[in-house]
Every structure is written in structure tokens, then in C-alpha cells.
Amino acid sequence: MIVELSLPVVLAVAAGGGLGAVARYLLDTYLPGGLLIANTAGSLLLGVMLGIAAAGGAGWHPLVLGLCAAGFFGALTTFATLALRAAQLWVAGERISAAGLWLVHVGAGLPAAALGAWLGWMVG
């Protein structure tokens, strides 16, 4: 699935990215484990979307792909915040906590994406 970049697609990515970043901030700020929830939910939802596409169930319009996949899900699941938290723990001498943080997020995100792809395949 190749999406040709155009101004409308770039604007859709920007809009989705803005919404995803706000959603991640709100989850991280107001829910315990909010960053883990954001990363895992975004991985699951992106997996569903791609699974549907892979099953031939949806030929996603480039604007939908830009808005949702690259924009919203990309910003919701940003690992930059995770990397910053892990680096802060590492510098503070909490190396086991830093490594554990990565393991928990990747350990939840990869299976969530796989589950999402499978669910999407079943739906599509």
C-alpha cells in the first residue's frame, strides 16, 4: 500500500497527528499507566486498520490513511515520550526500571499490533 503524498494527505497527517498528540497527553496526564495505554491502544488500532486492508476489506482512501495511520495512531503511539522517560530513569541510575519500561511497552505493543492485524483480517 503506497500513498502518494499530496497537500491534502500532508494536511490530514498533520490534523491526525495533532489529535493523537493531544489524546496521548490527556491519557498520560490523567490515567495511571496512560502512556502504556496510549502505546498499546494505538498499536492495536493500527493493526486492525492494516489487517482490514491486508484482507482486502478496505481500500483505504489516502486521506484516511494519512489522518488515522500516519497521523493519529502515529502520534498516539509515539515512543519519543517513552524514550525520554527511560533516559531520565537511566541517568538517575535506575537502569533496571529504564529497561523494564521498554520491555513492558514493547511487550504490550507488539502483541497488540499482531492481535489488531488478526482482528482486522477477520473483519476484512
Contact at 8 Å (CB) between 43 and 77? yes
pTM: 0.87
Query: CB-based contacts of 35: which residues, under 8 Å, 6+ apart?
Result: 24, 27, 28, 81, 82, 85, 105
The answer to which of 47-56, 84-93, 114-123 has the lowest mean pLDDT is 47-56
pLDDT of residue 1: 56
- pLDDT (tens digit per residue) in 99-116: 999 999 999 999 999 999
Contact at 8 Å (CB) between 111 and 47? no
- pLDDT (tens digit per residue) in 61-94: 889 989 999 899 999 998 888 999 999 999 999 9
End-to-end Cα distance, the chain? 16
Place of cell 541517568: 91
* pLDDT band at 120; cut points 50, 70, 90: very high
**What is the SS3 assignment for 65-114?**
HHHHHHHHHHHHCCCHHHHHHHHHHHHCCCHHHHHHHHHHHHHHHHHHHH
